[in-house]
Amino acid sequence: MTKTDEALKYFKEGFSCSQAVLRVFAKDFGLNDEQSLRIAGSFGGGVARMSQMCGAVSGALMVIGLKYGKTEASDDQQKEINYKAAQQFAAEFKKKNKSLMCSDLLGVDLSNPEAGAYMKQNNLSTLVCQKAIIDAIDVLEKIL
């Protein structure tokens, strides 16, 4: 099973975009499932359903941090490597989706109580969220 297939499976089971993306890469960096799910747990729905940065993007940026993030305060070179990878990811994701923002991608503000019904009526979890997960993993696999 590919990382994309696995992430979509997790998403369909009820995990958020951020959890699905981070979870499929987590073991590569020494995190177990529970740790990855907890770390990414607040980032679904554009950060706790506030329609900010897309959860798939947040999960992907966490993966980039696991791969390239600096671990010593004085390591400015590693910080630059990390930021360049994150910027590359963002640019590639935006080429595919026009935005990094959940509200732009969905066309709805998830903080609105009526948003859930709108999402279901318009099948946005399938049409938008699953595409965001697929695109995030595709771009990540190229960068990593």
Distance CA 19, CA 47 (A): 12
* Distance, CA of 138 to chain centre: 12
Predicted TM-score of the model (pTM): 0.96
Split at pLDDT 50, 70, 90, the class of 39 is: very high
Q: Quick: pLDDT tens for 61-85.
A: 999 999 999 999 999 999 999 999 9
Q: Tell me how far CA of residue 48 lies from CA of 9, 21, 42, 89, in angstroms.
A: 21, 16, 5, 22
Q: What is the DSSP string of 11-66?
A: HHHT--HHHHHHHHHHGGGT--HHHHHHHHTT-TTTTTTSS-B-HHHHHHHHHHHH
Domain boundaries of the chain, sorted by first residue: 3-143
Across 125-139, average pLDDT: 97
Distance CA 51, CA 44 (A): 9
Q: What type of residue sits at position 29? A: F
